[in-house]
Amino acid sequence: DAMVIQNPRYQVTQFGKPVTLSCSQTLNHNVMYWYQQKSSQAPKLLFHYYDKDFNNEADTPDNFQSRRPNTSFCFLDIRSPGLGDAAMYLCATSLSRAAQPQHFGDGTRLSIL
């Protein structure tokens, strides 16, 4: 039973061409997170939503945006991908900000041509 679903698992885009990654959840959790994970590195938090309240990390580039149209879905938009944005992007949820664990999807691996 998939609980946090990320589509697609692999995404290829061209340098500078906008791309959107999607995440859906069946857990009805209030909080949704987006992480970036580069090869052999730890996941790095980009931002999170608590319900509709958006919380951006201070060092997240402006190139990265997010939308959460409803409880179940969250999108990561990369407006002008650069070569350095090639990475695994992980979506996670938690029941509330004061609750662990975070439930992760299996990620979307983004390649930039």
Is 92 within 8 Å of 32 (Cβ atoms)?
A: yes
| Chosen residue from 1, 28, 42, 70 binding another protein by CB under 8 A | 42
Q: How many of the other CB atoms lie within 10 Å of CB of 64?
A: 19
Residue from 5, 45, 86, 95 that binds another protein (CB under 8 A)? 45
Q: Which two tokens stand for residue 88?
A: 């695994």
Would you state the structure tokens that stand for residue 94, as one six-digit string?
Answer: 């938690």
Between 3 and 16, whose beta carbon lies closer to another protein?
3
Summarize as ranges the residues that interact with another protein (CB under 8 A).
Answer: 4, 35, 41-45, 88, 90, 92, 96-107, 109
